[in-house]
Structure 1
Amino acid sequence: MEPNLKLKKDECQSLKDAIKFRQLVGSLIYLTITRPTICYSVGVVSQFMHSSTTSHLDAAKRILRYVKGSLSQGLWYKRCAIFLLSGFTDANWAGDSNDRRSTSGYCFSTGSAVVSWCSKKQDVVALSTTEAELSQQPWLHESVIG
């Protein structure tokens, strides 16, 4: 996606044939299984399946151009002598300009590649950055507490 691009619900003309947009986004969702680099972008575009506009279609086409230009890239898992599992988690407070909800996510890697990742828009509006980072991650509570 373009850096700092904020897609909104009703910012452009609605699409006449939204079925093609939904098929394109569905295909991109399937592609995220082997392409974790597009997960965030596809997640943002997929939020507008019911009210898609021309700017949303342009963003989806940009993802396709990225995939076309990076066909030779992929995940490579090399054998390591020492097993080291590392993780990272973060959240953006009120990052969605449409409903002010936060998005939280995590990724875990072993050796040279990511083995698990998730990005999810939170169900409720967080009142602080601390609440945004801790409210939707029960596995983090368990590891911190006990």
Structure 2
Amino acid sequence: MDEDGSKDSHQGLYVDGMVYTSDSQALIDQFQGEMKKKFNMADLGLIRYFLGLEIHQSIGGVFLSQTWYIEDLLRELNMKQYRHADTPMGINEKFLDEDEAKFIDAKVYRSLIGKLLYVVHTRPDICYAVNFLSRFMSRPNVKHLCAAKRVVKYLAGTLKLGLFYPNRSEKCLEGFTDSEWGGSLNNRKSTSGMFFRLCSCAITWGSKKQDVVALS
């Protein structure tokens, strides 16, 4: 009701997006037809941008990237003019949970790590670095923040990288795993990494500190 007692003429409107795909155009057309019978919807054509992901479709295949998302992150941190880093992390870079470095606002650090974790969806090359830095979100210090910003500097120099999924490739499943030994300075636990691809396309990857301490 309005203040004068009359009924409010405004109506609620719920808007949502939907992504659907198929290798059959007939099935896509059938799905669209069934949906339009029940909902007032519009077909926006081939997907190009969705939740921070850029999708470029061509005859050769599909390319996924997050260039715009990373550029927004650079503007937010005022780091567009910074010198680019050649690697996400320094060689053999190690940190303690607590050292003599000055502690910083944990909310700032957590926000940055959260955004970098989202970039990992299309950038396996920063997976280890971001996973490693996410271990210090409870009490981050200046060293941790500088290391996180180094990842951002690396992304700034590799904006155009992403994942490419060709239309045709050999049907072969490959997996790669590796681990270091006792890399954590806090509890001497090791870190394992894995990467799998199907038909030469990356399908899953990850980096995780092991739950137990390896003796050898």
TM-score by length of 2: 0.55
- How many residues are aligned here? 128
Instruction: Please give the alpha-carbon distance, in whole angstroms, between the structure 2 residues aligned to 1:21 and 1:60.
Output: 8
Tell me the equivalent position of 1:38. 126
Instruction: Please give the alpha-carbon distance, in whole angstroms, between the structure 2 residues aligned to 1:81 and 1:105.
Output: 25
The one of 103, 108, 111 equivalent to 1:23 is 111
Tell me the equivalent position of 1:88. 176
Instruction: Please give the alpha-carbon distance, in whole angstroms, between the structure 2 residues aligned to 1:5 and 1:24.
Output: 19
**Any stretches of 5+ residues in structure 1 without a counterpart?**
129-146
Instruction: Please give the alpha-carbon distance, in whole angstroms, between the structure 2 residues aligned to 1:36 and 1:86.
Output: 15
- How far residue 81 of structure 1 moved from its aligned partner, in angstroms, is 4.2
Segments of 4+ moved more than 4 angstroms: none
Instruction: Please give the alpha-carbon distance, in whole angstroms, between the structure 1 residues aligned to 2:170 and 2:142.
Output: 49
Say if 2:123 and 2:162, in contact at 8 Å, map to a contact too: yes
Deviations along 1:81-126, one digit per CA (max 9) or x if unpaired, are 4201111112222121211011122211123332111221111111
TM-score by length of 1: 0.80
Greater share of residues in helix: 1
Q: 1:51 to 1:81 in 2, by over 3 A?
A: closer
Deviations along 1:63-87, one digit per CA (max 9) or x if unpaired, are 1111111111111111334201111
Paired residue secondary structure (1:77) = strand
Say if 2:171 and 2:199, in contact at 8 Å, map to a contact too: yes
**Any stretches of 5+ residues in structure 2 without a counterpart?**
1-88
The one of 151, 162, 186 equivalent to 1:63 is 151
RMSD of aligned C-alpha atoms? 1.5
Tell me the equivalent position of 1:108. 196
Q: 1:14 to 1:50 in 2, by over 3 A?
A: farther
Deviations along 1:27-61, one digit per CA (max 9) or x if unpaired, are 11111112111110001110000121111000000
